[in-house]
Amino acid sequence: MNNWEVQIECLKGEFHLQVELSGGSRPLALIGANGSGKSTILRGVLGLENPEHAFVRVGERILHDSKASLCVPVEERNLAYLPQGLGLFPHMNVAENILFADRSNTLTLSELVDGEYSTTVENLKIKSLLHRRPEELSAGECQKVALARVMIQKPQMILLDEPASALDILARREVRKVLSEQLSDLGIPSILVTHDFRDVRDLVADIAYLKAGKVEKAGSADDFPGGESDEFLVEFFAQP
């Protein structure tokens, strides 16, 4: 049995999104040109969209079933979302930004430093940053803080929208390494939107290629042979 499955159909003007996706604990990368429906899928899973037809299941829990008139509210879905803009609060320091994501409102600074989540803080190399504000951090450091905030939520699924897009080459490599290790350690499913083959490679992710709102092809990177005639796929897999 797959750990999760998503069926979404919605119409936005002339754009018709109709997809069926499923997977296990291995990350799934959504790839495709801008406007192909990738971010709409993430928003549909999160519950930020209300499509005409939807079925979303994570583990044994059904989050959306339009046929049964069931739609679990966003705040009750236990999903973690890492947007492109990271969503850090500028008036809070790093520790406060991370603790804000604690749904139980019981997590303390000492637990970030010495307790249950100290390994996450150490692995992301942000222990020395806990009392700084986002404006004092580099782009890579902000990304790591946002990842830490995602990890401490203990979500059923993690959704990432181009997690390394705002970083320089070296910072991207570091974030991918940390993200790969964290996702592996957590063992929970994840879906990411990316335009970078290195995200797929380093996270050992499966791929769903979207084209005009449909899944054109899906599988592992090995299922996409080198002689593709599709221009987007040629360019995507040509990345070093």
Q: SS3 of 1, please?
A: coil
Q: Which pTM does this prediction carry?
A: 0.85
Same domain, 71 and 181: yes
Rounded Cα distance between 26 and 31, Å, is 16
Domain boundary among 154, 186, 205: 154
Q: pLDDT tens digits for 176-222?
A: 877 787 777 777 899 999 998 988 998 899 999 999 999 999 999 88
What SS3 state is found at 64? strand
Domain final residue pick, 138, 154, 170: 154
Q: Cα angle vertex 3, ends 6, 35, to 5°?
A: 30
179 and 193, same domain (yes or no): yes
Are 59 and 98 in a shared domain?
A: no
Structural tokens at position 27: 């990350």
Where residue 174 falls among pLDDT bands split at 50, 70, 90?
confident
Give the whole-angstrom CA distance, residue 122 versus residue 155.
Answer: 20
Tens digits of residue pLDDT in 125-147: 888 999 999 889 887 788 788 88
Domain of residue 108, residue span: 84-154
Same domain, 26 and 71: yes
Q: Phi, psi (5° rounding) for residue 75?
A: -70, -10
User: What is the residue type of 12?
Assistant: K
In sign, the C-alpha dihedral spanning 21, 26, 31, 35 is positive
Please name the amino acid found at residue 105: N
Kindly report which listed range (27-31, 40-44, 107-111, 187-191) carries the lowest average pLDDT score.
Answer: 107-111
Residue ending a domain, among 98, 132, 154, is 154
Higher-confidence position of 38 and 148: 38
Domain count, the chain: 2
The three-state DSSP-derived secondary structure of 167-231 is CCHHHHHHHHHHHHHHHHHHCCCEEEECCCHHHHHHHCCEEEEEECCEEEEEECHHHCCCCCCCH
Q: Is the dihedral of CA 219, 221, 224, 229 positive or negative?
A: positive
Do 160 and 138 share a domain, yes or no?
no
Q: What are phi and psi of 22, to 5 degrees?
A: -160, 165
Q: What's the CATH number where 10 sits?
A: 3.40.50.300
Q: Are residues 145 and 202 in the same domain?
A: no
| Location of structure tokens 């996702």 | 183
Q: Is 197 found in the same domain as 96? A: no
Closest CA to 148 of 171, 177, 127: 127
